Structure formats: structure tokens, C-alpha cells
Amino acid sequence: MPQGSGPVGFIGLGMMGLPMARSLLRQGFGLVVCDANPAAREAVAEGGAPGAVAAAATPAAVADGADIIVLMLPDSNVVAAVTEGKDGLLAALRPGQVVIDMGSSRPGETRRLAALAAARGAALIDAPVSGSVVKAKAGTLAIMVGGEDAAYAKAEPVLRGMGETLIRTGAVGSAHAMKALNNYVYAAGLLATAEALRLAEASGLDLAIFADVLNASSGRNIATETKVKQEILPGRYQGGFQLGLMRKDLETAGSIAEETGVAAGALAHCRAFWTDALAALGPKADNTEIHRFLGERR
């Protein structure tokens, strides 16, 4: 493992967590892992050096074996269960330890848990990621990081083992807020793009040429650049981000609107639209299938 470092704790070996943990192994880190899925616990060790991965039965046991602990969990409810539930992480924390919440949690909940960790002399920082499973496998994620300088300095080598771009966002909770708001902007752009494609189709326009017009003009966004010709027009709908996760990020953005009292009408529209799409298509549908959903509504 990297000189002067101990094993890294890793809780949550799902679709993103598993390749992120494997990226750390490739960088020479040892791991103490915890996940409810025994197959995931076995999969993370594949290709790693003998003895590089140890399994922990509980989150508290992860804290016993690692000074830096990564959480890659679905949402704040699961984070709370792992940190505050039976054999949870918080009660086992020691002074100087750093917990890195890399999932898409609610900023207010992140600040609450950070205060509880600080009361034990530890630190909790937020470091949500931007990028697909492909980037997680390559270790090239973009990672937003909120938290104090001392905690960031301890966490930085671990974060660089999973991502190539680190962006400091400010106080703890700020990274989770920026991630949710970024994904809201992406969702709004994707929805507008899908609607425009349906309007162009109904008007008899050449959709490939329309995509070129969008990408050469002011309508250009990440959806027009990376989703239209690649996923939507061929009907592949395999953009790599689940519709249920998109809706979850919109709900997190909605919690920010409620907390701040800002009237966010476009956000409310997106939230309602994705809720309807989720009910129709299911949470594991690709987010680009919002285009298919629009066609079915017609």
C-alpha cells in the first residue's frame, strides 16, 4: 500500500462503489470492506494482491481497522442507518479518523452527521462524484469535496486513488449541495433536449441534422453532445445513469429549495416529471429513457 498509509475502510460496494474500491486496490491501498452483499465482498478482491482485502462484519468493525473510511451508499437514509444504527460507525470513531461520504446525501443531513463525528474528535467530509461506471473503473472520476483543510489533507491521497479531478467546494455539506444542483441542471437540459427532439420529429425534421444544429448553437449542453446521437436517436438508451438516481438527486435539490425558501419553479417541474417517469419506467431505466417516456405520453 502507499507508503505511510494504513488500509482504507470502504462501506458500500454497489454499481459505483465496487469499481471505486478496485481502483484503490490498483493504487496499492489495502481495504477493509463492509457490504450486505457477500458476492460484492468477494468480487472486490478479484485481481487484488493476496491479503489486500479484509472483510468486516459491521460498520463499527470497519472503524476499528481503518483511519479513513469511504461511504458509497445510496442516500442519506442508508448513511444514517450505517452510521447510527446497531454496530454503527459513529459510536466506534476515534479522534483523528476521517469519514468520506461519497454518495448523494442531503446537505443538511451531512452537516448533522459531521457535527456528531466532530464530537468524537473525528471528521466527516462530503465528496460526491461525477462520472459514469466507466470512469469509476478507470479511476478518472471528478470529485467535489466539502470539509475543513485538515480532514481534506488526510483524505486527498485516497480521493486521488479514485478520481483525476478534485474540486474543493467549501464547508462540509457544500459538495453534496453542488452535486445535487449540478444534476438538476443536467436533468433540465436532458428534458428540454428530449422534448425538442419529439417536437422536431413531429415536424418532420431530420433529427441527426437537428442534433448538429444544437451542438453548433446556443442549445448545446452535455445531453446534446453525449446522449442524442449516441443513445437517443439509435434507441439504445444506455447512457449509464439510472432514472431512479436522477430522480433522487432532484429530490435532494428540492430539499435545498425547501431549506432555503427559494421558489424554484423549473425544479418543481423537473421533479414532478421524473416522478411520473419513474412510476412508468421503473428506477433502473436509463435516464435517457425520458425521451421514450415522452413518446409514450403522446
Instruction: Output the pLDDT for position 1.
Output: 57
The C-alpha cell at 178 is 453542488
CA distance 72 to 245: 13
Q: Which domains does the chain have, with CATH numbers?
A: 8-170 (3.40.50.720), 177-297 (1.10.1040.10)
Instruction: Output the pLDDT for position 3.
Output: 47
Give me the active site residues, please: 179
Instruction: Output the pLDDT for position 49.
Output: 82
Instruction: Output the pLDDT for position 250.
Output: 96
The rounded radius of gyration (Å) of the Cα atoms in the chain is: 20
The residue among 281, 192, 283, 188 whose CA lies nearest residue 241 is 283
The residue among 237, 178, 229 whose CA lies nearest residue 206 is 229
Instruction: Output the pLDDT for position 132.
Output: 81
69, 78 in Cβ contact below 8 A?
Answer: no
The residue among 75, 107, 287, 256 whose CA lies nearest residue 188 is 287
Which pairing describes strands 129-130 and 53-55: parallel, antiparallel, or unpaired? unpaired
CA distance 287 to 243: 4
Burial 58-73 (b: 16+ CB within 10 A, else e): bbbbbbebbbbbbbbb
pTM here?
Answer: 0.91
Q: What is the residue-level pLDDT of the chain in tens, covering all 298 positions?
A: 564 468 999 999 998 999 999 999 999 999 999 998 889 888 998 867 888 999 999 999 999 999 999 999 989 999 999 999 999 999 999 999 999 999 999 999 999 999 999 999 999 999 999 888 889 999 999 999 999 999 999 999 999 999 999 999 999 999 999 999 999 999 999 999 999 999 999 999 999 999 999 999 999 999 999 999 999 999 999 998 899 999 999 999 999 999 999 999 999 999 999 999 999 999 999 999 999 999 988 6
Instruction: Scan for cell 419529439, then name that residue.
Output: 198
CA distance 125 to 158: 13
Instruction: Output the pLDDT for position 262.
Output: 96
Helix (H) or strand (E) holding 10: strand 8-11
Angle between helices 243-260 and 174-202 (to 10 degrees): 120
Which pairing describes strands 129-130 and 141-146: parallel, antiparallel, or unpaired? antiparallel
